[in-house]
A = this chain, B = another copy of it.
Amino acid sequence: MSSYIVTGCAGFIGSSLVDRLLQDGHRVLGIDDFSTGQRRFLEKALENEKFLLKEIDLLDLEALKGQLRGDYEQVFHFAANADVRFGTRHPRKDLEQNTIATYNVLEAMRANGIKKIAFSSTGSVYGEAQVIPTPEDAPFPVQTSLYGASKLACEGLIAAYCEGYGFQAFIFRFVSILGERYTHGHVFDFYRQLAEDPTKLQVLGNGKQRKSYLYIQDCLSAVLLASGKAEGKVNIFNLGVDDYCELTQSIGWICEELRVSPALEFTGGERGWIGDNPFIFLETSRIRSLGWAPETSIREGVKKTAAFLRENPWVFQARS
């Protein structure tokens, strides 16, 4: 049994990780401010005596320092502003909830003598990648979104703490993650539109945007494997699947799952929104070399997500 801290423990990925860690018999201290996290995602965890929940805003460094404890051996820092799309409407959000929050987590770890951190970064840090599929050591990218820029800032801070304070880090650059508890992003938006009016669906862009998705449980398997196995000081891994789909394909799978046939209205253009990457497709041989491979296809992932949304209509109220 090990002891772990999970920030963003009530979020999509965080809460799924909490359940996996508890299932594996570990002790978990979960931290969330419930600004976007859902208490219902922790229902099962809260029944487990090995789970301890602390409601803390990561921007409150002193509170955070007071609640972390050195007998927890690693932090999974998965709290983030995941609202990639509306970055330009509130640029401060990425700065505070990603960059400054990460700095605070690192400082609170340092104050408590915790030196291992796993971090959820993003394939968005590659900007408009010049090499596709994009490897971890792709040419030095130019940022195209406030979200990507803030995640890159976090990566830099974490790596500097490894060098300066003897931390060890596992940094994961995710493609979009799908699956149960998925509560933002385009599958969510499409589902909501179709729930309101199954006869039509508005699609940002031309629908030809290519997307690569990873299923949540495959993602967590990679995170847990790498955190246990990687031995470097700063271990950076792309996480994704080896194929991709076009937006219209994933719409087809959603419609198939929901048994609807909407008329599609495209807003046009290659990008869904300013700063949207037309294509994030990651080269994953580094994580595969540790013995990981995804088990769920993009199609299955999209369909599982649509099924989860169908079975959990409350998430739409919770988010609105």
A contact residues vs B (CB 8 Å cutoff): 87-88, 91-92, 95, 99-100, 103, 106-107, 126-127, 130, 136-146, 148-150, 152-153, 155-157, 159-161, 163-165, 234, 236, 274-275
Complex copy number for this chain: 2
* In the complex with contacts A88-B165, A156-B152, A139-B142 CB distance below 8 A: no
Complex: chain B residue closest to A144, CB-CB: B163
Q: How far is the CA of A145 from the CA of B236 in the complex (A)?
A: 17
Q: Are A143 and B165 in contact (CB under 8 A)?
A: no
Complex: chain B residue closest to A139, CB-CB: B137
Dominant SS among interface residues on chain A: helix
Q: How far is the CA of A127 from the CA of B139 in the complex (A)?
A: 14
Cβ-neighbour of A155 out of B100, B143, B145, B150 (below 8 A): B143
Residues of the B chain whose Cβ atoms lie less than 8 Å from the Cβ of A150: 156
Residues of the B chain whose Cβ atoms lie less than 8 Å from the Cβ of A127: 159
Q: How far is the CA of A99 from the CA of B91 in the complex (A)?
A: 13
Of the A-B pairs whose beta carbons lie under 8 Å apart in the complex, a sample of 20, sorted by A's number, is A91-B161, A91-B164, A95-B103, A99-B99, A126-B140, A137-B139, A137-B140, A138-B139, A140-B140, A143-B159, A144-B159, A144-B160, A144-B163, A146-B157, A146-B160, A149-B153, A149-B157, A149-B160, A152-B153, A164-B275
* In the complex with contacts A142-B236, A155-B143, A275-B99 CB distance below 8 A: no
Residues of the B chain whose Cβ atoms lie less than 8 Å from the Cβ of A164: 87-88, 91, 145-146, 274-275
